[in-house]
């Protein structure tokens, strides 16, 4: 879980933006279970009862813990430029600071798919190409994006209309503490009456 939170910090740089609510195409490509076309409880059941999914960790929510679940698919490859050693899934509650004058906080859901490409320069190139392909194919489904480029990692945050919290992020890099190069897609959810919506600040519609 610590590695997951470190990677979330890497891809989570937030600023204000405008956009369109049409990013579901990317969700349907990269996520085996779409969180927007069913109840949230049904989404979790679909994942847990999938015979190709292996759960590796689950922490139920308590007064002192946020919910966290991780695992991997034995048979699931949504990627174009590499065959993953493993396709991992993580769902976690995560506290964010909202971009408003009072700096209020909110708890959202992080829903993440990560493809483990492996170590070495060839796999570095593969995950770079996967991110480039993702950005070219889906960037026009959002009105704006934030970009962070480096020699050992890169990330895009994508926004929809009127929201200052990115709806989706895509990134390549190394998982903290490992040599394996990875490509990851993250969506952020707010669960309202058992249905997933996109997070928003108090002054946003």
pLDDT for the residue numbered 64: 78
**pTM for this one?**
0.86
Report, as an integer, the average pLDDT of 32-39.
93
Q: How many CA atoms lie within 13 A of 51 on its CB side?
A: 0
pLDDT for the residue numbered 94: 86
pLDDT for the residue numbered 202: 77
> 136, 175, 179: which is closest to 156 by C-alpha?
136
Q: Write down the H helix ranges in the chain.
A: 2-11, 24-30, 40-48, 121-138
pLDDT for the residue numbered 97: 79
Q: Does residue 41 surpass a pLDDT of 90? A: yes
pLDDT for the residue numbered 176: 81
pLDDT digits (tens, 9 = 90+) for 154-179: 999 998 888 888 999 999 999 888 89
Would you give the DSSP letter of residue 8? H
pLDDT for the residue numbered 34: 93
Report, as an integer, the average pLDDT of 128-152.
90
Would you give the DSSP letter of residue 38? S
Would you give the DSSP letter of residue 122? H
Q: Quote the CA–CA distance of 99 and 201 in Å, as a whole number.
A: 7
């Amino acid at each position: 879980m610590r590695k997951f939170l470190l990677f979330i910090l890497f891809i989570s740089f937030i600023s204000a933006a405008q956009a369109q609510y049409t990013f579901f195409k990317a969700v349907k490509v990269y996520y085996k279970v779409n969180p927007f076309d069913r109840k949230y409880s049904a989404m979790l059941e679909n994942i847990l009862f999938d015979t190709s999914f292996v759960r590796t960790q689950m922490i139920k929510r308590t007064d002192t813990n946020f919910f966290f679940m991780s695992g991997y698919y034995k048979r699931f490859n949504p990627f174009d430029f590499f065959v993953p050693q493993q396709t991992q899934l993580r769902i976690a509650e995560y506290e964010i600071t909202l971009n408003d004058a009072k700096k209020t906080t909110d708890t959202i859901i992080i829903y993440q798919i990560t493809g483990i490409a492996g170590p070495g320069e060839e796999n570095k190139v593969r995950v770079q190409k996967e991110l480039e392909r993702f950005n070219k194919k889906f960037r026009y489904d959002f009105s704006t994006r934030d970009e962070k480029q480096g020699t050992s990692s890169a990330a895009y945050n994508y926004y929809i209309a009127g929201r200052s919290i990115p709806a989706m992020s895509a990134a390549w890099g190394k998982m903290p503490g490992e040599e394996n190069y990875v490509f990851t897609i993250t969506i952020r959810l707010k669960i309202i009456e058992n249905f997933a919506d996109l997070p928003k600040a108090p002054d946003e519609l």
